[in-house]
Amino acid sequence: MTRRFPRLEITAALVLGALSAWTLPHFLPLFVLINATIYVSMAVLALSLALVWGFGGILCFGQTAFFGLGGYAYAVAALNLTGTSWAVPIAIAVPAAFAAILGYLMFFGRVGDIYIGVVTFAVTLILFNFANSTSGDEWHIGAAPLGGFNGIPSTPPLNMPGDPGNALSPEQIFGVAVFGLTLCYVICKIVLHSHFGRVVVAVKENGTRAELLGYDVRLYRLGVFTLGGAMAGLAGLLFANCVFVSPTMFSLFYAGQVIIWVMVGGLGTLVGPIVGAIALQTLTAWAGTLPVVSPSLILGVILMAAVLIVPRGILPAAIALFARLRQRPVRR
């Protein structure tokens, strides 16, 4: 049976994104607005893993590898080119190409699902250690010094397309981040309701059956893995406009956080990881102001509680609870 095209969900996402981008900069202080831009960029990263893992069945422990590559590609291109008009597509294309190459080696090499997690985890460690070892004047790409553990703090902000001298304000960058998150959500919805997306989900459910039906499982997994890498690259360039580019973008801290966001929000959904990423980042920032409690400890407690109480995630549990309440007969 063909599923209904999600016109209502896409329309609601577009309206909510437009309202957020238009109204929030008028009410939020500058510091809060910059933090909100960081949260939105991380929500894009969580959405990329939600697509790859929740619908593609590929547990990627190295989604931050593409996130960091997007940030570094943007910074290097922006420092070497006039303006950032070309830096944006480069920051998306570089991690997408890297994901395509890595995915080709894994999927066409028939690497098992468990070892895919190990390989992506190892790639993240390699990139993190390499980025940390690039201190010194000899480590540069054109006019962009890599900076080692100090990173690239002089990354130019986004400018108006075709106008390098007109840099975007923090309010405008927040609008761009919200637009990027909305666009990624709409693309995911359209892809998942296409023939390609239905086959991807079928491969996740039973890859052997999909192969017997004549589908090349490797190509479909490679396609969704590459799309997830491109989305993570977009998250990296948005993050680079709020916080300077550094090796911490490849760190295991971010790699573990994004997995927690997806699990707590709801694996197998798109909205759940977005809500989980923004909510848990807000909670972590609040916990950082407390004198005794560690934010990492709070994240660990939330993860254990979510696994034990709502193993499917908060959003699916809330939807199921709402459905049960609607079906409950009303007492007279």
d(CA 44, CA 24): 18
pLDDT band at 331 (very low <50, low <70, confident <90, very high): low
- 202 Cβ contact list (under 8 Å, min separation 6): 209, 210, 215
DSSP string, 113-149: HHHHHHHHHHHHHHHHHHHHT--STT-EETTEE--GG
pLDDT at 1 over 50: no
Q: Virtual CA dihedral for 8, 13, 15, 19, nearest 10 degrees? A: 160
d(CA 107, CA 216): 11
Tokens coding 318 = 């809330």
Q: Hey, how many other C-beta atoms are within 10 angstroms of the C-beta on 27?
A: 8
d(CA 188, CA 270): 8
Average pLDDT over every residue of 77-87 = 89
| pLDDT in the model for residue 330 | 54
Mean pLDDT of the chain: 89
Q: CB of 89 within 8 A of CB of 313?
A: no
d(CA 287, CA 110): 43
Q: CB of 272 within 8 A of CB of 131?
A: no
- 110 Cβ contact list (under 8 Å, min separation 6): none
Q: What is the pTM of this model?
A: 0.92
d(CA 290, CA 304): 21
Average pLDDT over every residue of 92-102 = 97
pLDDT at 227 over 50: yes
Output phi, psi for 220, to 5 deg.
Answer: -70, -40
| pLDDT in the model for residue 322 | 79
| pLDDT in the model for residue 329 | 62
Q: CB of 267 within 8 A of CB of 54?
A: yes
| Pairing outcome for strands 159-160 and 144-145 | unpaired
pLDDT tens for 41-58 read 999 999 999 999 999 999
Tokens coding 91 = 């920051």
pLDDT at 177 over 60: yes
Average pLDDT over every residue of 304-319 = 79
pLDDT at 2 over 60: no
pLDDT tens for 270-286 read 999 999 999 999 888 88
- 212 Cβ contact list (under 8 Å, min separation 6): none
**Residue spans of alpha helices (H) in the chain:** 7-27, 30-49, 63-80, 87-107, 113-132, 170-192, 195-205, 207-212, 217-240, 252-265, 271-287, 295-309, 314-327
